[in-house]
């Protein structure tokens, strides 16, 4: 779903085929105002252009962006100023804030994980644990926070997981089937033990996912692989032990929480009636 389709759907959901009865009753049709989007806390913003697009969708064209996506902001910082019809501003308010706050929350949380692994070669990577219909913009927010993206969809690359392995009859059999069917595809394979890792060494995967292994086991895996392919750790990783995983020698840590558990970043809209 495109950004514009998402915006249209969100606005339509808010109106549900009717009108904003509160604004209709309390605000004259030709009333104008100036409104400021203000950061209420510190963090990294993402989605400012989507908020801008929401304003444009309701006919507001006098918009000033004071920050850009990826900026580190402080509580009290001015993010956007919009001038125009008061009813239109209030119609756009919640939809704009929903997108802006959600995406900035993802960027802010990602930036905290990235800070934890700074100075190592390890990159913080997202997963497909995204809100249906919002994967593209949520993964964009991860990048704005300094993280990197895993595959966008199931056709981007192969990721052979435990259920594929069980269905195919083992690690080696699963890998061979994917390689035969899609010889040009990037292949990542999940292993639960170091013994399984040894089994896939000869297969020359592009990447191996170390599932629910300790930092010590990940370090053993890194020694075993010795740079032959990249390693990704997933499962059991928290922000408090992220650095231990990063220092183990893995290339990535996969963090589903970046998109499925990021707190909303607090942004407010302050209206200045004219």
Q: Which of 68, 161, 204, 272 is catalytic?
A: 161
* Strand residue runs (E) in 66-143: 72-73, 78-85, 123-125
Q: Which of 8, 67, 83, 94 is catalytic?
A: 94
Q: Is 94 a catalytic residue?
A: yes
CA distance linking residue 2 with residue 86, whole number of Å: 27
| Residue 117, φ and ψ in degrees, nearest 5 | -105, 10
Q: Element (H or E) spanning 219, and its range?
A: helix 215-225
Contact (Cβ atoms closer than 8 angstroms) between residue 55 and residue 96? yes
Q: Which of 8, 67, 129, 179 is catalytic?
A: 129
Structure token digits, residue 152: 């966008």
Q: Is 74 a catalytic residue?
A: no
CA distance linking residue 253 with residue 117, whole number of Å: 10
Q: Which of 211, 232, 243, 251 is catalytic?
A: 211
Q: Element (H or E) spanning 23, and its range?
A: helix 21-26
Q: Is 272 a catalytic residue?
A: no
User: Catalytic residue numbers?
Assistant: 94, 129, 161, 190, 211
């Amino acid at each position: 779903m495109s950004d514009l389709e998402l915006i249209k759907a969100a606005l339509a959901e808010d109106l549900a085929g009717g009108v904003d009865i509160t604004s209709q009753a309390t605000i004259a049709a030709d009333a104008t105002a100036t409104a400021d989007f203000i950061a209420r806390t510190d963090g990294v913003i993402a989605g400012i252009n989507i908020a801008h697009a929401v304003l444009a969708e309701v006919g507001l064209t006098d918009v000033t962006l004071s920050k850009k996506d990826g900026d580190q902001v402080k509580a009290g910082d001015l993010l956007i100023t919009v001038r125009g019809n008061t009813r239109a501003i209030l119609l756009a308010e919640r939809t704009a804030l929903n997108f802006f706050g959600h995406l900035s929350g993802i960027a802010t949380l990602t930036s905290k994980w990235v800070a934890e692994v700074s100075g190592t070669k390890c990159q913080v990577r997202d997963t497909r644990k995204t809100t249906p219909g919002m994967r593209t913009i949520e993964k964009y927010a991860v990048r704005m926070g300094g993280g990197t993206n895993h595959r966008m969809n199931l056709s981007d690359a192969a990721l052979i997981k435990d259920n594929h392995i069980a269905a195919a009859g083992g690690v080696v059999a699963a890998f061979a089937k994917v390689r035969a069917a899609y010889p040009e595809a990037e292949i990542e394979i999940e292993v639960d033990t170091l013994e399984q890792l040894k089994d896939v060494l000869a297969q020359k995967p592009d990447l191996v996912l170390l599932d629910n292994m300790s930092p010590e086991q990940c370090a053993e895996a890194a020694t075993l692989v010795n740079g032959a392919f990249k390693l990704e750790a997933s499962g059991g990783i928290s922000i408090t032990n992220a650095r231990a995983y990063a220092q183990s020698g893995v290339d990535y840590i996969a963090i589903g929480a970046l998109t499925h558990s990021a707190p909303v970043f607090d942004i407010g809209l302050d209206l200045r009636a004219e």
